[in-house]
Amino acid sequence: MSSLNIDYDEDQRWVPTHVQVTVLRGRGLRAKGKHGTSDVYTIIQVGKEKYSTCVLEKTTVPEWKEECSFELLPAGWGRGRIPPREQRLGPDGDAPGAHGTGRVSGPSRDPPG
């Protein structure tokens, strides 16, 4: 495999403007319903933008395969770095933070360069 190295001046450096996210599935979710299942969805938030998947009913192993895109604003516009990513999984009708069935959160990495 070959690699390509390009030297950029500081003003020519590539800066991402969008990030695309694919929500694949949920695993290890707690059942919240009386029949051992839940109606689940997920909310992804980058900065102040949010995306919510469709609600999948009566499951603890949801598969969404849904895609969404978030705009990343440059440093001069208030968000210099990609903020931490957060994904919440919640039962239908409940606020995700209040009675959620799961939550994933972690630091995002800046692109190499």
Helix/strand/coil (H, E, C) string of 64-88?
A: EEEEEEEECCCHHHCCCCCCCEEEE
d(CA 9, CA 106): 31
- 54 pLDDT more than 70: yes
pLDDT in tens, 18-44: 888 889 998 888 888 888 999 999 988
**Length of the chain in terms of residues written:** 113
Question: Taking the model in full, what pTM does it have?
Answer: 0.58
Domain limits, the chain? 16-106
Position 90 scores a pLDDT of 57
> Per the CATH hierarchy, to which homologous superfamily does domain 16-106 belong?
C2 domain (2.60.40.150)
